[in-house]
Amino acid sequence: MKQYHNLCGSILKNGYATGDRTGTGTIAMPGYSYQCKLNMDEEGVIHDFPLLTTKFVSLKSIFEELIWKLRGDTNIKFLIEHNNHIWTEWPFKKWLEDTGQIRNIQMWKDAEKSDYADEWKAEKKSFEEKILTDSEFCQQWGGLGRTYGHQFRHFGEITASELTPEVQSFLNKGGLLDPEYVVKKGEDQLMDAVSLILNNPENRRIIISLWNPSDVKKTLLPPCPCFYQFFANQNGYLHLNMYQRSCDSFLGVPYNTAQDSLLLVLMAHVTGLKPGIFNHFFGDAHIYRNHIKQVKEQLVRVPKELPSLKINKQTTNILDFEFSDLELIGYNPEKGIKGAVSI
């Protein structure tokens, strides 16, 4: 995908060195964008699907994380059950911190942060096994807080635990409310967007915002892709703009571009439209220092022809899709390039 290669090349050429939350350091650039055009033929095959070819990117992992978000889930159990470990590092680190274990475990293999230490990996594997087998442990430690799934389906929700003691007392006449009691129902932005596309296609407010300032501190990592605007005002087509505030350009961006292009495909499918243009807007576009070698390796590889995608299932509910409903055609990527995620 040439657009992605141009992004990485531009960061290396024009970016500047920064510190960051993780302590790893980055080469960063403030703002960028690229466009992906999805071309559906008369047989329903979508050509030029933006799945990176200069290293392997798993469509299965992309789909599983997407459907996990759209179904409103914020616990990593579903992902681990599907052999998807993309979010484990954050709750695992919090568990180590909150239980005082982190000071006794070496996190990185070396000073360059090229990979996690063996003892870190072994303990993380044990953590995931507990998530799968111990329901109480899973409930306490498997959640990411009010991140993607919550904001897609319950934006602005208020529970009793967020009320002041005085308000709780007033509402319950001196008693205590169940902390999980929903005082104010949140907005189901996903289903609202589907409804607007179907019933008011010229609307310029078909927007899903995942950035809720009130919830930023209530999640282990606030959403990176955080603002979506759908356009249904071209007859027969659906387009999507997505703004990503923070962009891990080696590990995250290839997944983000493909995943939100897939979101466009699925939303178009359930509303009877053809997917059109996906515009990916970047805020802080960066390459972590421990990924520079991998990015340079990738940039010498020549992009191949993009694959095609076909949706096999006839459905009107976006939540009903399974991975078996996707058919990836002609994907012939180069081998994967490993890099450690910074948390």
Catalytic residue annotation: 224
**246: its two tokens:** 């923070």
Q: Please, what is the Cα angle at 140 between 137 and 146, to 5 degrees?
A: 140
Q: 99-133 burial, b for 16+ CB within 10 Å, e for fewer?
A: eeebeeeeeebeeebeebeeebeebbeebbeebee
Helix (H) or strand (E) holding 209: strand 207-209
Record the tokens describing residue 146, joined without a space: 């009010």
Q: How far apart are CA 329 and CA 50, in angstroms?
A: 12
Residue 200 three-state SS:
coil
Q: Which of 128, 9, 31, 8 is nearest to 75 (CA)?
A: 128
Q: 96 in helix, strand or coil?
A: helix
210, amino acid identity:
L
The neighbouring-strand residues paired with 247 are 285
- Phi/psi-derived region of residue 49, left when phi > 0, alpha when psi is between -120 and 50, beta in every other case: beta
Question: How far is it, in rounded angstroms, from Cα 90 to Cα 138?
Answer: 14
Closest CA to 17 of 27, 30, 7: 27
How is residue 196 written in tokens? 């607007």
3-class SS string, 9-31:
HHHHHHCEEECCCCCCCEEEEEE
Whole-number Å distance between alpha carbons of 138 and 148: 19
